[in-house]
Amino acid sequence: MGNVAVEPPKVQPADLETIADLAGAIFTSVDMTEMSAIASELEAKAQRLGELFAQLSGPRGEEVVNLIIAETFISRRKRREISAIVTEAILRDALIALADSSQGPMERVSLMRYWLEPMGDLANDLPFELLHFLQPDRFCLATSWVWNPLTETGAVKLLLDEGFELFGADQDEAFARLNFAIDYLGQTAQAAGFIPAGNTHFAMDAFLAGVYGVYMSTVLEMRMTKEFNKILPPLSQLMRRLLGIYHKEVN
C-alpha cells in the first residue's frame, strides 16, 4: 500500500449483503473452477511482465516496450494512439521508472501519467495496471473500472458500505485507502467462499472483473434492445478482456 498508513475504519467496509448478491450473479455464469483458472492466468501474466520488465535496460529495451503494453486491457485497443503521442524510447524510460521499487507508488507512475495525459483514463489505467502486476502483494488493481474517483463509480464502489471513504487528503492517501479496501474485501470474499483459495490478490481481481461484468451487462440490458444484448460476450470472456488476458485462440 505504499508508505501511507490507513487507520482502521469506523464502519464495516464491506457491504456483505451486496457482495453475496453479486457473487450469486457471477456464479450463474462462472463457476469456482473458472474463477481459479482466471486467477492462474493472472499469475502467469504477472510472471511474463516481470520477465519483460527485466529486459527494459538491455539492447531489446524499446522492442520489449511493445510487448509490455500489449499485456494490458486498455492499450491493446489504443496502441496506435499511444504511438502517436510518445515514442518507445520515452515509454521505456517511463516503464523503468515504474519498476523502481525504491520510490513510492505515485512517484513510480508519475512519468507515464505525464506523457499519456492527453489520453484520459488510459493515463491512469495503464501505469496502475502494470504497477499491480509488478507487485500484486503491495498494490491493488487501480484501473478506472475498479474505481474512478472522478465519477465515483467502479466495481469496488459496489462492494463497499456507503460509510467507507475512498478519498484521502492527497493521492497517496487515496491510493492507500483503495488498497486497504480491496485487501479487506478480498479477505472477506475468500472467507465467505466467493473467491478461490490461494493467491487472494489475483482471485480478487477476477471477482472484481466479475462484479463489473455483471454490472455492465445489467446496465446494457436495461438500456439496449434484446437484439443488441445477444451479442454481449459471455461473462468469463468479459472478465478476461477487462483483465487483459483474453486471447481468441485460447478462450
Which residue type is seen at 98?
L
Instruction: Give pLDDT, residue 4.
Output: 61
Question: pLDDT tens digit string along 223-239?
Answer: 666 655 566 789 999 99
**CB-CB contact of 174 with 106 (8 Å):** no
In which residue are the cell numbers 461484468 written? 213
**CB-CB contact of 99 with 132 (8 Å):** no
Instruction: Give pLDDT, residue 79.
Output: 82
- List all residues 6 or more positions away from 121 whose beta carbon is below 8 Å from its beta carbon: 74, 144, 148
| Residue 153: strand pairing partners | 148
Instruction: Give pLDDT, residue 124.
Output: 94
Q: Of 200, 91, 201, 189, which is closest to residue 140 (Cα–Cα)?
A: 201
206 CB neighbour count, 10 Å cutoff: 28
Instruction: Give pLDDT, residue 228.
Output: 55
- In this structure, the dihedral spanned by the alpha carbons of residues 111, 212, 188 and 162, taken in order and rounded to 10 degrees, is 90
Q: What residue ranges of the chain have pLDDT lower than 70? A: 1-12, 76, 223-231, 248-251
Query: Long-range contacts made by residues 201-206, C-beta under 8 angstroms, separation at least 24?
Result: 201/136, 201/137, 201/140, 202/39, 202/40, 202/42, 202/43, 202/46, 202/136, 203/35, 203/36, 203/39, 205/39, 205/42, 205/132, 205/141, 205/243, 206/35, 206/38, 206/39, 206/42, 206/239, 206/243
Instruction: Give pLDDT, residue 217.
Output: 86
DSSP assignment string, 100-166: -TTS-HHHHHHHHHHHTGGGTTHHHHHHHHHHHHH-TTT-----TTT-BTTTTBSHHHHHB-TT---
Distance CA 91, CA 96 (A): 8
Please provide residue 14's backbone torsions phi and psi, each rounded to the nearest 5 degrees: -90, 135
Grid cell locating 154: 467502479
Burial of 159 (0-12, 13-18, 19+ CB in 10 A): buried
Instruction: Give pLDDT, residue 251.
Output: 38
Instruction: Give pLDDT, residue 249.
Output: 43
Instruction: Give pLDDT, residue 41.
Output: 97
Instruction: Give pLDDT, residue 250.
Output: 40
**CB-CB contact of 251 with 240 (8 Å):** yes
